[in-house]
Structure 1
Amino acid sequence: MWLHLISVLIVLLGLLPLASFGQSSKRLLYSSLSDDERVNDLMSRMTLDEKIAQLINTAPAIPRLNLPAYDYWSEGLHGVARSGYATLFPQAIGMAATWDAPLIHQISTAISTEARAKYNEAVRLNIHSIYYGLTIWSPNINIFRDPRWGRGQETYGEDPFLTARLGVAFVEGLQGDDPHYLRAIATPKHYAVHSGPESTRHSANVDPSPYDLWDTYLPAFRATITEAKADSIMCAYNSINNYPACANKYLLQTVLRDAWSFKGFVTSDCGAIDDFYEVTAHHLSPSKEAAAVAGIEAGTDTNCGETYLSLTEALKKHLISESQINASLKRLLLARYRLGLFDDASRVPYAAIPFSEVHSPSHRELAKTAARKSMVLLKNDSSFLPLDLNTRTIAVIGPNAASLAAIEGNYNAIAEDPKLPVDAIAAEFKNSMILYAQGSPYADQVPLPIPRTMFHPSKSAVENGLKAEYFSDSTFQGNPVTTRIDKAIDFDWNSAAPTPGVPSNSFAVRWTGTITAPQTGDLALAMHFGDCYPCTGHEQFKIFVDGKLIASDSPSENSLDSHFRLNFVDTNPHDLRVEYIHHAPLRGADLSFEWTPQSSYLRKEAVAIAQKSDVILAFVGLSPNLEGEEMSLHVEGFAGGDRTDIKLPAAQQELLEALAATGKPLVVILMNGSALSVNWAQEHAKAILEAWYPGEAGSEAIAETLSGQNNPGGRLPVTFYAGVEQLPAFSDYSMANRTYRYFKGKPLYGFGYGLSYTIFSYQNLRLSSSKLKAGDSITAEADVKNTGTREGDEVAELYLMPPYSSVSPNLALAGFTRLHLKPDETTHVTFTLDSRTLSQVDDKGNRAVVPGSYVIAVGGSQPDSRLGKTASFSVQGTLKLPH
Structure 2
Amino acid sequence: MRKIAQKRVAHILKTVLFSVLLLSFLTGAAQDTEMDKFVDDLMSKMTLQEKLGQINLSSGNVGAILAGGGGLEESIKKGEIGATGGFTFGAIKGSQEAAQESRLKIPLLIGLDVIHGHTTIFPIPLGLSCTWNTQLIEKSARIAATEASASGVCWTYSPMVDISRDPRWGRVSEGSGEDPWWGAQVAKAMIRGYQGDDLSKSNTIMACVKHFALYGAAEAGRDYNTVDMGHLTMFNHYLPPYKAAFDEGAGSAMSSFNVIDNVPATGNKWLMTEVLRNQWEFDGFVVTDYTAINEMTNHGLGDLKAVSALALKAGIDMDMQGDGFIGTLEESLNDGSVTMADIDRACKLVLEAKYKLGLFDNPYNYLDESRAAKELLAPEHLAAAREIAAHSMVLLKNENQTLPLRKEGKIAVVGPLATAKADLLGAWVMVREESVISSVVEGIKNVGGENVEVVTAKGANITDDPYLKQGLVSPYAAYMGVKMEEETRTAQEMIDEALEVSSDADVIVAVLGESAAMSGEASSRADISIPESQRDLLKALLKTEKPVVLVLVNGRPLTIQWESENVPAILEAWAPGSAGGNAIADVLFGDYNPAGKLTMTFPRSVGQIPVYYNSLNTGRPFDAVNKFTSKYLDIPNDPLFPFGYGLSYTTFEYGDIRLNKTALNGEEKLLATVTLTNTGDKAGEEVVQLYIGDPVASISRPVKELKNFQKVMLQPGEKKDVTFEVTTEDLKFYNSDLNYDWESGEFKLFIGTSSADVKTSSFVWNK
- Alignment deviations for residues 658-691 of structure 1 (CA, whole Å, 9 cap, x no partner): 1111111111111111111212221221211100
Query: What's 1:382 paired with?
Result: 400
Query: What's 1:51 paired with?
Result: 51
The one-letter code of the counterpart of 1:618 is A
1:73 corresponds to 2:103: no
The one-letter code of the counterpart of 1:44 is S
Query: What's 1:100 paired with?
Result: 133
Query: What's 1:604 paired with?
Result: 496
The answer on whether the counterparts of 1:788 and 1:823 sit within 8 Å (CA) in structure 2 is yes
1:671 corresponds to 2:550: no
Calculate the TM-score normalised by the size of structure 2.
Answer: 0.82
1:117 corresponds to 2:133: no
Q: Give runs of aligned pairs for residues 19-34 of structure 1, distance below 5 A.
A: 34=34
Question: How high is the sequence identity, in percent, across the aligned residues?
Answer: 34
1:716 corresponds to 2:736: no
- Cα 1:447–1:194 change in 2 (3 A) is closer
The one-letter code of the counterpart of 1:73 is G
| Aligned equivalent of 1:225, options 246, 255, 261 | 246
Measure the CA separation in 2 of the matches of 1:180 and 1:419.
Answer: 36
Measure the CA separation in 2 of the matches of 1:343 and 1:705.
Answer: 47
Query: What's 1:474 paired with?
Result: none
- Cα 1:797–1:366 change in 2 (3 A) is same
Query: What's 2:725 paired with?
Result: 832
Measure the CA separation in 2 of the matches of 1:735 and 1:267.
Answer: 35
1:152 Cα deviation (Å)? 0.7
1:855 Cα deviation (Å)? 1.9
1:172 corresponds to 2:192: yes
Measure the CA separation in 2 of the matches of 1:198 and 1:72.
Answer: 34
Calculate the TM-score normalised by the size of structure 1.
Answer: 0.71
1:187 corresponds to 2:208: yes
Query: What's 2:700 paired with?
Result: 807
- Alignment deviations for residues 721-777 of structure 1 (CA, whole Å, 9 cap, x no partner): 1111222599xxx9899xxxx999211111100110112233474445422335555
- Cα 1:199–1:869 change in 2 (3 A) is closer
The answer on whether the counterparts of 1:213 and 1:845 sit within 8 Å (CA) in structure 2 is no
1:650 Cα deviation (Å)? 1.6
Query: What's 1:585 paired with?
Result: none
1:171 Cα deviation (Å)? 0.8
1:284 corresponds to 2:284: no
Query: What's 1:872 paired with?
Result: 762
Query: What's 1:848 paired with?
Result: 741
Measure the CA separation in 2 of the matches of 1:342 and 1:308.
Answer: 24
Structure 2: state its 5+ residue gaps. Answer: 1-29, 59-80, 83-98, 619-629
Measure the CA separation in 1 of the matches of 2:377 and 2:463.
Answer: 35
The answer on whether the counterparts of 1:797 and 1:817 sit within 8 Å (CA) in structure 2 is yes
1:235 Cα deviation (Å)? 0.8
- Cα 1:345–1:775 change in 2 (3 A) is farther
The one-letter code of the counterpart of 1:396 is V
Q: Which moved more, 1:405-414 or 1:161-170?
A: 405-414
The answer on whether the counterparts of 1:87 and 1:358 sit within 8 Å (CA) in structure 2 is yes
Q: Give runs of aligned pairs for residues 757-768 of structure 1, distance below 5 A.
A: 757-763=649-655, 765-768=657-660
Aligned residue for 1:594, secondary structure, equals coil
- Cα 1:158–1:273 change in 2 (3 A) is same
- Alignment deviations for residues 770-810 of structure 1 (CA, whole Å, 9 cap, x no partner): 22335555343444333322122211111112224563111
1:603 Cα deviation (Å)? 1.9
- Alignment deviations for residues 551-590 of structure 1 (CA, whole Å, 9 cap, x no partner): xxxxxxxxx87xxxxxxxxxxxxxxxxxxxxxxxxxx784
Measure the CA separation in 2 of the matches of 1:665 and 1:218.
Answer: 45
Query: What's 1:548 paired with?
Result: none
Query: What's 1:262 paired with?
Result: 282
Of Structure 1 and Structure 2, the greater strand share is in: 1
1:197 Cα deviation (Å)? 5.6
1:319 corresponds to 2:337: yes
Measure the CA separation in 2 of the matches of 1:340 and 1:664.
Answer: 61
- Alignment deviations for residues 192-218 of structure 1 (CA, whole Å, 9 cap, x no partner): 11123699655x442312221111111
- Cα 1:613–1:766 change in 2 (3 A) is same
1:820 Cα deviation (Å)? 2.6
Measure the CA separation in 2 of the matches of 1:143 and 1:735.
Answer: 17
Measure the CA separation in 2 of the matches of 1:874 and 1:821.
Answer: 33
1:176 Cα deviation (Å)? 0.5
The answer on whether the counterparts of 2:163 and 2:179 sit within 8 Å (CA) in structure 1 is yes
Measure the CA separation in 1 of the matches of 2:560 and 2:436.
Answer: 32
1:681 corresponds to 2:563: yes
Measure the CA separation in 1 of the matches of 2:405 and 2:32.
Answer: 65
| Aligned equivalent of 2:534, options 652, 658, 667 | 652
RMSD value, Cα: 3.2
Measure the CA separation in 2 of the matches of 1:447 and 1:432.
Answer: 40
Aligned residue for 2:437, secondary structure, equals coil
- Cα 1:856–1:109 change in 2 (3 A) is same
Query: What's 1:617 paired with?
Result: 509
- Alignment deviations for residues 38-82 of structure 1 (CA, whole Å, 9 cap, x no partner): 1111111111111001111133537455424424531211112xx
The answer on whether the counterparts of 2:168 and 2:220 sit within 8 Å (CA) in structure 1 is no
Measure the CA separation in 1 of the matches of 2:191 and 2:492.
Answer: 48
The one-letter code of the counterpart of 2:763 is F
Measure the CA separation in 2 of the matches of 1:199 and 1:764.
Answer: 40
Aligned residue for 2:518, secondary structure, equals coil
Q: Give runs of aligned pairs for residues 377-776 of structure 1, distance below 5 A.
A: 377-390=395-408, 392-412=409-429, 414=431, 416-429=435-448, 430-445=450-465, 590=481, 592=483, 594-596=485-487, 598-630=490-522, 641-727=523-609, 745-763=637-655, 765-773=657-665, 776=668
Measure the CA separation in 2 of the matches of 1:443 and 1:232.
Answer: 40
Q: Which moved more, 1:369-378 or 1:65-74?
A: 65-74
- Cα 1:842–1:323 change in 2 (3 A) is closer
Measure the CA separation in 2 of the matches of 1:112 and 1:151.
Answer: 22
Measure the CA separation in 2 of the matches of 1:849 and 1:271.
Answer: 41
Aligned residue for 1:171, secondary structure, equals helix
1:860 Cα deviation (Å)? 2.1
The answer on whether the counterparts of 2:482 and 2:516 sit within 8 Å (CA) in structure 1 is no
The answer on whether the counterparts of 1:90 and 1:695 sit within 8 Å (CA) in structure 2 is yes
Q: Which moved more, 1:253-262 or 1:721-730?
A: 721-730
Query: What's 1:583 paired with?
Result: none
Aligned residue for 1:378, secondary structure, equals strand
Aligned residue for 2:151, secondary structure, equals helix
Aligned residue for 2:764, secondary structure, equals strand
Of Structure 1 and Structure 2, the greater helix share is in: 2
Aligned residue for 2:333, secondary structure, equals helix
Aligned residue for 1:189, secondary structure, equals strand
- Alignment deviations for residues 677-728 of structure 1 (CA, whole Å, 9 cap, x no partner): 2122212212111000001111111111111111100001111111112225
1:821 corresponds to 2:703: no
Measure the CA separation in 2 of the matches of 1:667 and 1:438.
Answer: 16
Measure the CA separation in 1 of the matches of 2:738 and 2:116.
Answer: 33
Aligned residue for 1:407, secondary structure, equals helix
Measure the CA separation in 2 of the matches of 1:104 and 1:758.
Answer: 25
The answer on whether the counterparts of 2:421 and 2:436 sit within 8 Å (CA) in structure 1 is no
- Cα 1:214–1:605 change in 2 (3 A) is same
The one-letter code of the counterpart of 1:334 is E
Structure 1: state its 5+ residue gaps. Answer: 1-29, 81-85, 120-132, 450-523, 532-559, 562-587, 631-640, 878-883
Query: What's 1:858 paired with?
Result: 751
Aligned residue for 1:799, secondary structure, equals strand
- Cα 1:602–1:843 change in 2 (3 A) is farther
- Cα 1:410–1:198 change in 2 (3 A) is farther
Measure the CA separation in 1 of the matches of 2:333 and 2:410.
Answer: 74
1:611 Cα deviation (Å)? 2.4
